[in-house]
Every structure is written in C-alpha cells, then in structure tokens.
Structure 1
Amino acid sequence: MTAVHGELFPTPLMAQIKSRFHYVDHDMNGRERLFFDNAGGSFRLKAAVEQAGRIDALPDCPERIHELARYLQDVQAKGSQDFRTMLNAQGGSVYASLTASGAMFDMVRAIAENVPGTNMVTTVLEHPSSFDAMSLYAERLGRELRVAPSNPVTGGVDVEAIVGLVDQDTALLSVIYASNISGAKLDIASIVKRAREVKPDLYIVVDAVQHAPHGLIDLEKTPIDGINVAPYKFFGCRGSGMSWLSERASVLPHHKLAGKSRDFWDLGSAAPWQFAVISEITDYVSWLGSQFSGASARRTLFARGIERIELHERALLTRLLHGSDEAPGLRAIEGVQVFLDHDDLSRRDLILAIGIDGLEHAQAVREYEKRGVIVYERVATSLYSKRMLQSFGLEGAIRVSPLHCHSAADIDRFLRITGEMAAQVAAGLIRAD
C-alpha cells in the first residue's frame, strides 16, 4: 500500500525539513502563502544559499597555489564527487555552466557535429533547450529530426514510440526524464536498454532538470552519455547548471581552451560556489536518508533520502487527487478538471495540470494569488508550453507543483481554496476577465 499511495514524513521530521528551507510558509515580506510553483524554481536550502554567498565572497582564484586557493580546489573536487554521487556516475566529466539549458545545447552540438548518422531522435515533450538544440543541429547538418509523440492518457511518451524511431543511422537520442507539465516519468531504463539493442553504440542524452528533485537517478543502471541538472530546481541557487558527460562524449571536439585536457568542458574561471551548492544539496538529501537508514555510505544515504522524498510526494499527490476527511480531492471538486490524470502514481512526479471551469488559466493564477497561493499557467501562447500542450490536445492548464517540504495540511488548505474558487465561479462571484 505504501508503494502505491506513498508515505508521509513523520510530523516532527516534517517540521525539521521546513526549517531547513527559506520561505516555505511565508514570502519575503512575511505574508503567509503556499508556494506551489516549485517546478519553476524550488525552495532554497538555507545552507546552500549561505554557502554560495560565503564561497563567492572570496576573491581568491582556485588556479593558484596559496592556502585559500587550495581550499577552493577542494570545494570543487568535493562538489564534483558529490554530483557523481547524486547520479551514481563513474568517471566521465562534470561540467559546470551558467545554465542547464546552455549545457544541453553544448552537449547536443558536440555529439551531433562529431557522430555520423542521417537522423536524430527526440520527443515532443522536451524542454525547448533540448528540442530546439536538436532541431537546430539537425537542420544545420542536413539530418532528419524524428519526434516521438506523447501519450495523452499517461501524459508521457511510450517507450515503443521512441525506440521505434531509432535505427542504425541515428546519431543521437535526446529524451526528457519527466514532463514538466504532466509530471509523467519516462521509462529511461527501458528506453536506454531497448534503444541500444537497436544500435549498441548509440549516443543518448537526458534532460533531468525537472525530475532530479523528485526521484532517484542511477547512471550505473541507465548508462547514457550526457545529463543535465539545474540546482535552482533542486533546492539550490540560480545561475548554475551542472552536467555530466560520459568518457566518450567528453572527449568529442567542443568549445574549450586549447591547453586544457580533452575532456575538460568549463570555459573561463571556475565558480567554486556552484560546487559548494551541490555538496549542500547532497548533504541535505543524505541527512534525510539517515533518518531512515543506519548506513554510512554517502550514495546509500542519498539514495534513501531521494526514495523517501518520492514516497512523501506520492502521498501528497494521492491526497491532492483523492482528498481526505479534511477536504475533498481535486477529482471530486465540481468544476475542476484534472488533466492527464493517469492512475499509476508511481509513474508520476509531484506535478499536476488542472483547470477550473469558466475561468481562464491566467486569471485562475491571479485568483489563487489573491488567496495566498502561487501556481503557474501553462498556455499555448508560451514558447515553453505550446508544443507539449498541443500534443495533449490542450489549450492550457494550471500547473500545480508542490515539493516534499509541504505537509498534508498544506495540501488540505490548497484543496479548500480550490473548492471555494470553483464554487464562486459557478455562483458568478468570480467573473471571467
């Protein structure tokens, strides 16, 4: 039953979790609010923000020989190892960039320009950074871009739809780990295994930006060639993208200083705070894992922490959909639609797409804000939403994305507010703009 419906954190632990993050229950002005837009940028760990400022305040360059320079070298080395711990990655290269989107363009370019083939494969649900990178280099190199369609029932992309597009002439496969509209998780393990059965040396890159804070990534089980993570969506800070490349991908020709090693990807002076933030994220998730495990290995603790986050978030998702004695769930609220509502919650991250009858999505977002709730409208006029929404046959949706920092009481409050809004629209008390 736990695996199906999840399991909430114990109440004392929930209080500790909230205390480790900024602005979970109030905004910067002290106003009470529910921030349910974590898919656009998650709550920040206090330790990550503090450490970023502390490290970035140092004027020292890590490419020196004095004491603080060597300290910064250690910060970078630890952060690189902690990033590998997050991914369970061995070898390869860690690439710190300004954004995860920029890194995706860099990885796609290096593979597309240097690996032979007549086609490149991706999915309709990709973030623009990966889809547009694939489109750009397919066009520039005269290759066919093959796009796997979405499944409007599950909200994801079927394994068969992707693998069926791969052949011996495929230069690159790029797939997203989870949809940032529906929350549906793609079966990366099966995709990698079956695609490599078609072409054993196929290059594969994965966009894990949306999924990384919600579920375990294990590159030993899903060997790929490139993956990106955005720390600001994973309890960290903006202005940083972290990626990992396999040994063979890391040595493909790419932009770099000529004097650096073949597998080096950073350009310009390193920003050690980026690595320090990764270590703080790893510390936090490992601490969370230690509440449920007596293990000492860092990867084991990290894995346990992410697994418990996933279970808690699944319990929150269950409560959102089914409700409780405190409030009816979204499925039961008259006037509320839950889009892409697949029953297998183990295949979904904590993201919901909903609509309120008679209320345009952007107006609904404004009405929620009046009531102290922050959500986000995904509409077909947005470059970040159009392609995905159209694939689902939707014109728009209200995206609801809590985080594991939220409690059952937070979910109940959101459900009561949603129910009141739907009733007010039906009674004509809220009129369409």
Structure 2
Amino acid sequence: MKTAKTAFPISEVREQFPALQRTYKGKSVAYFDGPGGSQVVKSAIQAIAEYMENGGANLHGCFPSSWETEAIIEEAKLAVSDFLGVQMNEVAFGANMTTLTLAISRALGKEWGAGDEIVVTEMDHRANVDPWLLMAEDRGLKVRWIKVNTETLTLDLSDLDRVINENTRLVAIGMASNAVGTIVDFEPIVKRAKEVGALVAADAVHAAPHIAIDRDRQGIDILLCSAYKFFGPHIGIAAIKEELFKELEPYKLVPAPSYYPDNLETGTQNHEGIAGIAPAIEFFASFGEGSTRRERIQSGIERIELHENSLATRLREGLKEIDGVKLFEAEDAVPKTPTIAFQVAGVAPEEVCKIMAEEHSIFIASGHFYASTLAERLDINKSGGWIRAGLAPYNTEEEVDRLVQAVAAL
C-alpha cells in the first residue's frame, strides 16, 4: 500500500469527469460511493457515444459497422490484457462479474462430484461465494471456509493446511475487501492451493481500481473484475488461463461458438459499453511512465494509489477524532484500499447517508455491500450495516474535510 505524500494533478483529473459538475441542494456533489461504482471518465463516455452515433452492429457481418465493432472488441481485450497482465485471447466479457462467475462455476462443476471440495472465505463479496456454493450443492461437493479474524479484520490463515487439502479443487478468494478495505494476504493461500493442485479464482472487482494486478505472477487461474469500478461502463471481465479456458465448456446455445473465449460470451454483448473499456484503462496509463502501455498502467496506478491513500489517511484520522464514530478497519500495518467503513453511535447508517446527501450534498452509501458473511460475523446487520466512504482519483482534501465536518456535525 503506497502512502507517501506525492504531487498529484487533481485539477487535471477532475476535468476528465463530467459528473463532478453536478450540484445538489445548491452545493457541488462530493462522491464517496466509488466502491459501489466509480464515476465515468469523459473519454469512455465519448467512445460509447461515438460508437452508437456511427451505427452499431452485430459481429461477423460483411459491412463496415460490423468490422468496426469487432475492432473495438479487439482493442478492449488488448487493453485488458495490459491492465491485468494476461493474454488477449484469455479475456471474456459479460454482463457483470457475478454473471460470469455463475457461468464459470457451472462449467467447472461438470467435472467435479462427491469427495471433491471447494474453499471460500468469510471476507468476500457474495459474488465470489454463492456461485461456488450453488455449484457445490448441485454437484455434491464439500465446502470449507477460510474464516475471518473479527479482531484484526484479516483472514485467519492458521488452519490453511487443513482447509485446503488434497481434495480441494478450487479456492475462491477476494483480493481486497469491498466492505472494510483489507487487502488480502493471498500469497500463502495461492501457495497452498498450488501445492494440492487446486485452481484459484480471484475477485479483483474492488482491488482493480487501486492496486496493480499481475495475474500470472500472482498465481491466479481465474481473475474477475468489472469496468464500472474503474471509471468505465458496466461490463464484467474474466481473464482465464489459456490451458484452463481451452478445456472449459460453459453452458451455451447450440449455434454459438464453441471456441474460447467466445464460448463464455453468451448472447450479443454490450458493444457500446465495451467501446468504453480501453479509454478507461488508458486513464491509468496517462499518469504513468514506461515504454509499454503495461508499464504505464502499473506506474499510473501506483501514482494514483499514493494520492488515494493520502486522502484515506486524512479521512481515517479525522473520523477517529469524532466522539461516537467507530471505524471498522485492520491495523495500520495491514495494507488497505482507500475504503473506510464506520458507524455513528445513535444514528442509523441509512439515516447518516440521508443527512449527508440532503444537508451536505455528500453521496455516501450504507449496508452490508454483499459482504454479508463478514457483516454477520461482526454482528452489524441488526444496526443497519456500515457507512462506507471510498476515495477515488477525483476526490480532494477539501471533500475529505467536508465529510469529516459533516459527520462531526451529527
């Protein structure tokens, strides 16, 4: 987690996000709801509009708009390959990460049965839990859980050799908690999975906007993320290792392609949305350095990470000084995304969010954010869940101070 102070061209960044011009109740809107979906960069919006204005088309036609659609998809997959450190032919698009995971789990489950096991964690968003649980129920697999330490808000890896064993076929882990921001120490988990020959499916939806990803170096077989979390459109992305993708047989219509990655892309894709993916990824590259786009992306993410974590530290310290505010976070030594979960004593989380919007024009969300197992373990559902504030490259110190002051006013 990068935390050093660094100069950051915040004015240049904010100019690229049209949504920041919005006002509500006579005040400029401050967006702290990025973990639920970031604002969209102008270049992605323009690419989506341009595609639709020029005439969209389905694939495999013998006319320009069809060829152009295929070229846009190819460019998007090339950009994703640079973003995630994968091959272009390992990338598939879908409605969202959840839908893709459901399809992948069903396809993998065809080969598994009684005596086989899968592993999920108590930290994860349910999109990387329930698809595997449903498949396990259908196929008669045993499910084991990596538990969360409710004191440290990290995964408890003390029993890893028992939880991941010779019967394990797949381990599903999240790279970072979308609720409390903990960046998961998944290296020991991956190492143990590889020792027993198990696959690793990683949810990078929350991690992708904040930390550089290298799927192969990190030992991941199936990587999933969503473009709408990193300044693009609502498109799910799967990056599956080629040798696994070759053998995967997703459920599909009979006439649909049987070759990968197209066999995972059921139905007509959201072509206009796909047009916005490459510009969203280029946003990261525009702040980086290097001779290749991959190098510029990684460098740009690291630069953005410094800015975001500086803001996150400012926000955490400000909230800690307010009586009645409780933060849910791992200790300082544990790397975290710039995502802060908290509650205010005596005020329901949803009510806090309403006051933030109506009185301060601050957009912030509450709930369990589909990390419902973690919420149950922390016993916070009965009190309305968390209030979650997420920082993005377009947030400012002034907005952070405004949020802290608004919470203090409660």
1:336 aligns with 2:325: yes
- Given that 1:124 and 1:147 are in contact with CA atoms closer than 8 Å, whether structure 2 keeps it comes out as yes
Answer yes or no: is the 8 Å Cα contact 1:313–1:404 preserved in 2.
yes
Say whether the 8 Å CA contact 1:112–1:172 is kept in structure 2.
no
Instruction: Please name the residue that 2:280 is paired with.
Output: 281
Where 2:163 maps in the other structure, the secondary structure is coil
| Among candidates 122, 125, 143, match of residue 123 of structure 2 | 125
Q: Aligned with 1:243: secondary structure?
A: strand
Q: Quote the Cα distance in structure 2 between the aligned partners of 1:39 and 1:161.
A: 31
Distance in 1 separating the partners of 2:329 and 2:301: 25
Number of equivalences: 400
Indicate the residue corresponding to 1:419 in structure 2. 408
Amino acid at match of 1:174: A
* Structure 1 pair 30–50 and aligned structure 2 pair: CA distance change class (3 A): farther
Give the one of 334, 344, 348 matched to 2:336.
348
Q: 1:193 aligns with which of 191, 194, 203?
A: 191
Q: Which stretch of structure 1 is more off in the superposition, 299-308 or 90-99?
A: 90-99
Q: Show the 5 A alignment for 1:80-229.
A: 80-90=77-87, 92-115=89-112, 118-162=116-160, 164-197=162-195, 199=196, 201-229=197-225
Match of 1:389 among 345, 370, 375: 375
Cα 1:299–1:385 change in 2 (3 A) is closer
SS at match of 2:38: coil
Do 1:111 and 1:172's aligned partners in 2 also have CA atoms closer than 8 Å? Answer: no
For 1:264-343, list aligned pairs within 5 A. 264=262, 265-289=264-288, 293=289, 295-322=290-317, 329-343=318-332
How far is 1:115 from its partner? 4.3
Equivalent AA in structure 1 for residue 122 of structure 2: V
Q: Which deviates further from its counterpart, 141-150 or 297-306? A: 141-150
Checking the alignment, whether the CA contact within 8 Å between 2:207 and 2:337 is kept in structure 1 is yes
Query: How large is the Cα RMSD of the aligned pairs?
Result: 2.2
Instruction: Show the counterpart of 1:326.
Output: none
3-state secondary structure, aligned to 2:91:
strand
CA 50–9 in structure 1, closer or farther in 2 if over 3 Å, else same: same
Q: Deviations over 1:370-422 (max 9, x none)?
A: 2211111125xx8x24322122343422111121211112111111111122x
The Cα of 1:301 is off from its aligned counterpart by 0.1
User: 1-side partners of 2:2 and 2:64: how far apart?
Assistant: 52
Q: Once the two structures are aligned, what percentage of the paired residues are identical? A: 24
* TM-score normalised by structure 1 residue count: 0.86
Moved more, 152-161 or 394-403: 152-161
**One-letter amino acid of the structure 2 residue matched with residue 125 of structure 1:** M
- Secondary structure, aligned partner of 1:256: coil
Residue 28 of structure 1 deviates from its aligned partner by 7.8
Where does residue 255 of structure 1 map in the other structure? 251
Aligned-residue offset at 1:181: 0.9
The aligned runs of 1:30-109 (5 Å cut-off) are 31-57=27-53, 58-90=55-87, 92-109=89-106
Code of the residue aligned with 2:361 in structure 1: it is G
**1:160 Cα deviation after fit:** 4.1
User: Within 2, Cα distance between the matches of 1:418 and 1:28?
Assistant: 18
Deviation at 1:91, TM superposition (A): 5.9
| Alignment-mate amino acid for residue 400 of structure 1 | A
User: Structure 2 regions of 5+ residues with no counterpart?
Assistant: none
Residue 144 of structure 2 aligns to a residue in which SS? strand
Q: Distance in 2 between matches of 1:253 and 1:344?
A: 43
TM-score by length of 2: 0.91
Listed as ranges, the gaps of 5+ residues in structure 1 are 323-328, 422-433
Distance change (3 Å), C-alpha of 1:159 and 1:49: farther
